[in-house]
Amino acid sequence: MDAQNDVNRGEFTWKISYFSEQDANKLYSEAFTVSGCKWRILVFPKGNNTDHLSLYLDVPDSAMLPNGWTRKAKFSLSVIDQINNGRSIRKGTQHVFTATQIDRGYPSFIPLTDLHNRTGGYLVNDTLVIKAEVCILRVTPPVNIQPARPTDGFDFYFTGLEELINAAETNGVNVGSSWGHQKGALTAKIPSLEEVRKAKQSLKECLSDLFKLNMKERLWDALSTLSSARTGLSSEQHIAIEKFRENFNDFTSDFLTFEQDNAEFELEKLQRDQWFSAMTKCHEAHIFCKKLMGDLVKEEEELKRKLEGVKSRSDKLLSDWEIVRVKSEEAKLGYEDKQKKVAEAEEKKRIAEERMSRSTTAWSNLKTQFC
């Protein structure tokens, strides 16, 4: 590409060596870039169903562009006369390139008879020179939008998963003590102080853990004993005992329901924690995979740099090779020209030798007669 003051403009020159020997139906130039957009020249050496050279401007990376892409560009294509630049042929137009219209150009650019005319300058040393000039008018979407990486979906998903894990760890559910109940029998006798003491102790044990075996019977027995006591209890304790005895079945039923529901809750929580553990392990695996992917990206970038170096050396070698080919062609033409001149000089020498021989004979005869 030649440097341009306008970043939206650029030009590219393509030299095709051994043009008349090309057997391919069509040829593509290497890609060149104008304002972030890739282009290439497409040529049909023997014409695209015509008896003319067919020439087009093409979008090489159309399959990689995002859905709905468009490029509006003004461009021209030229076939250069290498002897008289004034006879070069240039044609220009503008076009909106899309996924269904990735090239635009001229099926009948120049008649093949004119192109291959030996007196013209379009093919010099069997080399064709084509020039493209491109001006970008509009691009959608902008070319600086990076395409989605294959890992972007993973990052988005696992970022949400990490937020879920953090929220679960921050807002954990705490469960209180469990409660249970058992059956009991009614008593109405007035208990002794010793019975009251034992009943109070039994009540404390029941209240400390209602889910122990036979706790409901022990609780009812303790309540019955204490409700009949005349001493050893405060008025507030009597009121609390009577209130609980009056609704004993409802309260114990509530305890039983809670016990069942609590057991179900504990099971669900255990299973939830198991899934949480599995989810956490998956997240840790994601972090590990992401690190490996980062290492691979770095390795890929290093390989790209190496590939660019190889391509640069390859381009330099091809350029040197082309110089060698041109010099070889010059040497060949020089050799052939000198070969003709050597043959001409040899013929002149032969004629001169014949004349010299004749003159020498005459000279010898003359010398014999007088010397």
In the predicted model, is pLDDT for residue 190 greater than 80? no
List residues bridging with 123 in a β-sheet.
128
Which 3 state secondary structure label does DSSP give 339? Answer: helix
Which tens digit of pLDDT belongs to each residue from 22-48? 999 999 999 999 999 999 999 999 999
Q: What is the mean pLDDT of the chain?
A: 82
Most confident region among 32-46, 139-153, 221-235, 346-360 by mean pLDDT: 32-46
In the predicted model, is pLDDT for residue 57 greater than 70? yes
Which tens digit of pLDDT belongs to each residue from 265-320? 888 988 998 998 888 888 888 889 888 988 898 898 899 889 888 888 888 888 88
Which 3 state secondary structure label does DSSP give 150? Answer: coil
d(CA 60, CA 124): 29
With respect to residue 109, please indicate whether it lies within any of the assigned structural domains.
yes
With respect to residue 52, please indicate whether it lies within any of the assigned structural domains.
yes
With respect to residue 146, please indicate whether it lies within any of the assigned structural domains.
no
pLDDT class of 85 with cuts at 50, 70, 90: very high
In the predicted model, is pLDDT for residue 3 greater than 70? no
Q: Which residue has the tokens 């150009």?
A: 105
With respect to residue 300, please indicate whether it lies within any of the assigned structural domains.
no
The secondary structure element, H or E, covering residue 260 is helix 248-370
With respect to residue 50, please indicate whether it lies within any of the assigned structural domains.
yes
With respect to residue 129, please indicate whether it lies within any of the assigned structural domains.
yes
pLDDT of residue 2: 40
Q: Which of 59-73, 108-122, 213-227, 274-288 has the lowest mean pLDDT?
A: 213-227
Q: Which domain holds residue 105?
A: 9-140
With respect to residue 79, please indicate whether it lies within any of the assigned structural domains.
yes
With respect to residue 238, please indicate whether it lies within any of the assigned structural domains.
no
Number of domains in the chain: 1
Q: Of 26, 25, 29, 23, nearest to 1 (Cα)?
A: 29
In the predicted model, is pLDDT for residue 251 greater than 90? no
- CATH number, residue 59: 2.60.210.10
Provide the CB-side half-sphere exposure for 93 (13 A, CA). Answer: 11
